[in-house]
Amino acid sequence: MASTNSKQMTTGKSFEYALLVSFEEKLKDKTNLEVIKNSAFNVAKSCFDSVSSNEKSEYLLSASFAVNFLMDIEPRLSNDIGKDDILQLEILSDHHGKSGDVRDVLAIRLLQKWEIGVSAKNNHKAVKHSRLSSNIDFGDKWLGVKTSKEYFKTITPIFNHLEKIRKDSGAKKKWSELGDYHSTIYIPILKAFIKELKNLYKKDSAKVASNLVAYLVGNKDFYNVIKGKNSLEIHAYNLNGTLNLPFKEIQPKYKTPKVPLPTEIVDIDFKTDSDTTAIVTMNNDWTLSFRIHNASSRVESSLKFDINLLKSPKKLFKNTLNISKD
């Protein structure tokens, strides 16, 4: 039986492929286009090919709704400045996400020096799944500010202990066999994370606040397309003002305002009545939750954050499309 992770990957990649196919189908008669058939394209296509015909239809229907809407708000998708102005469609490999680029599907016009990206989500709204371990400097990686020796001094023995358990058991020991691992592992790690984030914020407050959102939410502007059961949500993360541009005199049908990044962290603390979740509250209406968890049923020497956007600026454009199969 497929693991949850591989199932999630298959559904996610299938939806990415469906979006790319829909872009191609709807735009091929309007402009010259080229599909970049890279390794990420091949992975997504094989995932799409592996799902049932019902699932294929579902992904394609949702993708069709999404692309129709995006064509309304992005006139440069359909409009070129001549036959040499080729629209390139590309699926990005997952390693881009590690540097804060969360886009999955890109539409690029090199001649117009223009691109838009879509982050494809299938039945989940988590903005990021970031890992913590004794050799990951989250400050440097996420914020551009190195974490302290004190932070590593606190967390390294805990992760080393987990690694010893993993090795001694031949990688068979399960978390469920560890007893109260919340108080011995989760809480101290989360406390260390909260303390370190506060310290990093004191070092360089404006940089840390804005970079935290830029890294976690996405450092390149993008449309978040979230496929639900019978609906589709589209959120416009227009942080740098590169989305929703007109083409000559052709204006987008709807406006997606530029969204302000935070400049201050107001509070960092445990969520009330939770020992696994930290809440980071920032100005400009940004609030993030960080839920720590083990990514596998078996013990390993790292933990994951399930990071969600609890609150976002009112200027963040959101639209829900109801999908009927009729």
pLDDT higher than threshold 90 for residue 251: yes
The answer to whether residues 34 and 117 belong to one domain is yes
* pTM above threshold 0.95: no
User: Given 3-state DSSP classes, what are the helix, strand and coil percentages for the chain, each rounded to the nearest 5?
Assistant: 40, 25, 35
The answer to whether residues 295 and 181 belong to one domain is yes
Q: Do 33 and 85 touch, CB atoms closer than 8 A?
A: no
Confidence of residue 111 (pLDDT cuts 50, 70, 90): very high
The answer to whether residues 201 and 146 belong to one domain is yes
Residue 294's Cβ-side half-sphere holds a number of Cα atoms within 13 Å equal to 18
The answer to whether residues 140 and 255 belong to one domain is no
The answer to whether residues 158 and 27 belong to one domain is no
Confidence of residue 53 (pLDDT cuts 50, 70, 90): very high
The answer to whether residues 155 and 269 belong to one domain is yes
The answer to whether residues 25 and 155 belong to one domain is no
The answer to whether residues 199 and 278 belong to one domain is yes
- Please state, in angstroms and as integers, the Cα–Cα distance from residue 170 to each residue in 167, 176, 177, following that order: 5, 16, 14
The answer to whether residues 247 and 300 belong to one domain is no
Q: Would you list the DSSP string of 40-89?
A: HHHHHHHHHHHS-HHHHHHHHHHHHHHHHHHHHH-GGGT--SSTT-PEEE
pLDDT digits (tens, 9 = 90+) for 259-294: 999 999 999 999 999 999 999 999 999 999 999 999
pLDDT attached to residue 127: 74
**Exposed, middle or buried by CB within 10 Å (0-12, 13-18, 19+), for 236?**
buried
The answer to whether residues 207 and 305 belong to one domain is yes
**Mean pLDDT within 94-100:** 65
pLDDT digits (tens, 9 = 90+) for 193-206: 999 999 999 999 98
Residue-range definition of the domain harbouring residue 175: 128-213+261-311
The answer to whether residues 112 and 99 belong to one domain is yes
Rounded CA-CA distance 191/278 in Å is 9
The number of folded domains in the chain is 2
The answer to whether residues 226 and 289 belong to one domain is no
